[in-house]
Structures are given as C-alpha cells and as structure tokens.
Structure 1
C-alpha cells in the first residue's frame, strides 16, 4: 500500500493482527486478501485519528481542511494500489458498478472545481488587502483615506462573493444514497474485498467534502451524518471524528478568514475615529503589523489547501482515466459461450 510497505509475513501489527480482522459477511478470504484489507483499513483509521482534533479552533481552519484533503488523496491512491494488488480484471466488474463509479467521479471533479473557485475568490481578496497594506505604511491623511477604501473593498468582496457550493447538498445526498454499491462479481472474494474498501472510500470522501462545502457555504446544511457498521476497522475512528466535527460549533466562519476580518475591523474603526489627526501611532502600527501577519497566514493557508484540492482532482481524474483505458482495452472480448468475439459498448 502507499502508506504501508510491510510484507505479509510481518509479526507485529500496530493496530492488531489483521488475520483476526472482521471480513465481509459470507466471505472466505485468503490470508493475502485479509492482509490487504486490514492494511488498508488500519491506514484509513490512522488518518481519521489524525483529523480528530483536541481543539475546536482547529476544525474549519484551512490547515485542518488541507490535512483532510491530503487524507482523501492518500486514501484514493491506496485504493488504486490495492486494486492492482488484487489483480481483479476490469472485465469481471459489474457494469452497473462501473457506471456508478464513473458518475461519482464526475461529481467529485465538479465539487473540486467549485472548491477551487471558492479559494480563488479568497485569493482575489488578498490583492485588495495588499493595496490597503501599502497605503497603511503611511500615516498621512490622504493615504489613510485610500487604505480605508481598500479595507471597505475587502469587506465588500467577502460579503458579495458568489458561493457555488450551496448547490452541493442534493449532490452529496445522492452520493450518500449510493453507498451500497452492487457487487463487482458475484461470489468473488476479491470483489467483496474491493467493495468493502470502496465503502470506506466513499464514506470518508462524502464526509470530508460535506465539511468543506459547509465551511465555504457558511452553513451546516451540507453536513452529512453517517452511521457506520462496526464490521469496519475504521468505524470507531470515523465516528469519533464525525462527533468531533459536529460538536465544533458554528459553520459560519473559516478560522483564518475570521481572524483577518477582526484585524480589518479594528484598523477600519481606528482610521475612521482618528481622521482629525489624533492617531495613536504605536497602536496603529501594531494593528498594521497584525493585519500583515494575518494576511500572510491566510494566503499561505489558502495556497496550501488549493494545492491539496488540485492534487485530489488529479488523483480522481487519473483513476477515472485509468479505468476508461482498461475498459477500452477490454472492449473486444472473447465470448466463451459462442467462441466468437463480441464488442462491449462503453
């Protein structure tokens, strides 16, 4: 796996012996399949525990969301690696499952584009702040008037920005309704392992996307609540994370942006209250330094999250392209019943 390279014969397992793991109902799995499944699930559980913060202030921060998107990237890469290790031919996969996967992947790509749009708007607001900081370098009345105008521009930009994620609730609800995928192949041990793994991928993907959508929309309307059967080794870690996020409080602010807004309000108030020249220079300069620091922190955080969203987009896209490539290679297959070649329509 991408995050675990230990051979199947290792004697020590940090999350318990995978050969004693609970496996998909009705399955008789080989030791190799049990190991692959347990390795994936333990890796997922570890990632979920890292997201479960002890501080409410960490939830809905850009750094937390970047860590969440990183987990999605790693998890999807792990699935791709697991599929390769299963050596399960695409021709054995149920066509309904393939259609479902391709439909889901398109929706995930659309969601990533909308997240990128939200982050791009925040970056555009940073240009307004840079102009304000330039004018705030001087205490002359003329420059302060321009600075005040720029600070007003930041407030207007944030309040008037158009959010594209508010329409995600129906999409996420639909994806949640598709958690129970059809079997890859009837009575296939490998297929059952893949379905067991894909359930985990879908749950975590849906939940993290719903958290980001709620944060960007400033509302918990998109937040999903999912009950996980205890047959999954990562169930407890997910339940704790979900409880942690749901109890974090308001979804009306993004932590770093909220800190930026506070600095802008304080400076704006000071400038407006001291246009007569009675500016307290030291206090004013300290506030300018605070604004510069918060602006830089926000920019770095947005850039980091943007890179993680872009990486997830490419992971999903590459997985989709790989599957389509395999399907094209399998377009013409041997019809064992007639001994003739038949064409599979995509």
Structure 2
C-alpha cells in the first residue's frame, strides 16, 4: 500500500511536468477542463482526509496494544485485568466503523461516472487530456483498493472500463482483474482484512486474550511470554508500516493541494480583468465548499 501511494504521488507529480513541457498556458485551457480538474482535486482531498482519519484510528488502537504489552511485560501475574481490558478495547476499536470512509465510496462512484476521454482538436490539448485521463484511472483504482482495505469489504471495489484506444488499456485491465480478484478471494474466504500486518496482530491477540483471561498457569508461563513477545514484534511492524503509509498519504494530499493552488494562481494571473478574477476566485470557493 505504501508503494502504491508512492506511485500515485509520483504520477501526479509527473502530470505537472507534462503540463509544463507542453507549454500550454492555462488561459488556453477549455473551461470544462478547468472545472473538471478543480472538482476532481476537491474530491481527492476529501479521500485523503478519510484515509488519514483511518490511519490515525489505527494508531490510536496501537496505544491500547502498547498499554496491554506494558502491563504484561512489567508483571503479568498482577496486571492481567488491565491487560485484558486493553486488549478488549483494541478489539472493539479495530472492529468499529469509521463514518468518514463511507463518504469515500460515494466520491469514488462520482469520479468513476465522470471518467471519460474528451475529444479535443488541439494537439497539445489532446496530449494533456490523455495524460490526465490515465492519471485519473490510476488514482481511482488505487483509492478504490485503499477504501476496500480500510473498510474490510470488497463490495465497493471499482472495476474500471478503460478506453480501448489507450495503449496501456489491456495491461491495466489485467492488473486490475488480478488485484481486485485477490481482494475478493481474501474476503470471501472469511478473513477480515487484506492488511497483512494488521491480520498478524489480530491473530496474536486472538491467541493471547483467552490465555490471560484464564490466568497464568506456571506450566505455560514460557509459552505465554513467547506470545507476548510475538505480539510486541507484530505490533511494532504494524506501527512502522502505518508511519510510512501515513507519510505517503500526507504527501499525496500536499501534491493535490499545491497543484490545485497553482492552477488557481495561474488563472488569476492570466485573467484579463477584475470581473474574470472574481469569477475564478468564486469558482475556487464553490469547489472547496
């Protein structure tokens, strides 16, 4: 997931380079292109906020794990009740739903419905539209996978139909079919998450929780310590993964935000009069709202 988000960041950075290389001034852009770009950028910012919220929720859950591990490591025989309470709190926290994620599916549906390759006569405009179309396809694909992974459901996975004239259409559809198929297989098999680090922690908690509930049997003390140690290692790996992914999601948010700001700034600079400038500013405010 970290590498996928890193790719998305790089792709959105590349589109800025393409726009610069084309030397196609913003004042020459069709108004519809600008409207679509501004609308899409707001939706992507909303998606990033939802993903950041979920990652923050996972990190909050990790605090409960660390509390349980501290009690068990310090003196397991005296802190079993507290450890049980923390582990139970973690299970409930992880099993709860994040309402902000539900909005992601509506946004992704909206982006999918507007996914089209407009017909453009201008040569540079045609190159720009094809590039932006490809970026949008990749963005919806990756964000759809993230939404499915975070919500623990494959019901809302998006299966995109790409314009056949794109040279990369077949390759993309093959990757999409494979990845979406794997995710659907995971959930249909009864597993509750596609995030391997989270699943590893869940398995450790599932083993450890009933063991400490029943009390520490001196004969099984060593096995219990091994389980505690294993949970600690898995929790650390999960936490490290969250930190890396959070960094990439924040980076994607900044790339989208700066790209949007740059476009609005160019429109203001290129406006021919105060009325045009006011219209541009009004448009920006409406899109953000």
Deviations 1:4-43 (CA, angstroms, capped at 9, x unpaired): xxxxxxxxxxxxxxxxxxxxxxxxxxxxxxxxxxxxxxxx
Aligned residues: 272
Matches within 5 A, 1:1-346: 65-180=1-116, 182=118, 186-248=120-182, 249-251=185-187, 252-253=192-193, 254-275=195-216, 277-332=217-272, 343=276, 345-346=279-280
Rg comparison, structure with higher value: 1
Higher normalized contact order (CA 8 Å, seq sep 6+, divided by chain length): 2
Deviations 1:315-337 (CA, angstroms, capped at 9, x unpaired): 0001101100100011117xxxx
Gaps of at least 5 residues in structure 1 are 1-64, 334-340
Q: How many Å apart are 1:102 and its aligned residue?
A: 0.2
In structure 2, the partner of 1:42 is none
Normalized per residue, the structure richer in helix is 2
Counterparts of 2:219 and 2:129 in 1: how far apart (Å)? 66
Q: How many Å apart are 1:135 and its aligned residue?
A: 1.0
Contact 1:172–1:210 (8 Å) recurs in 2: yes
Counterparts of 2:96 and 2:164 in 1: how far apart (Å)? 45
Q: CA-atom RMSD, angstroms?
A: 1.8
Following TM superposition, the consecutive aligned residue runs of length 4 or more in structure 1 with deviations greater than 6 angstroms are none
Counterparts of 1:101 and 1:114 in 2: how far apart (Å)? 20
SS of the aligned residue for 2:10 comes to helix
Contact 1:225–1:242 (8 Å) recurs in 2: yes
Task: State TM-score, norm by structure 2.
Answer: 0.89
Counterparts of 1:299 and 1:270 in 2: how far apart (Å)? 24
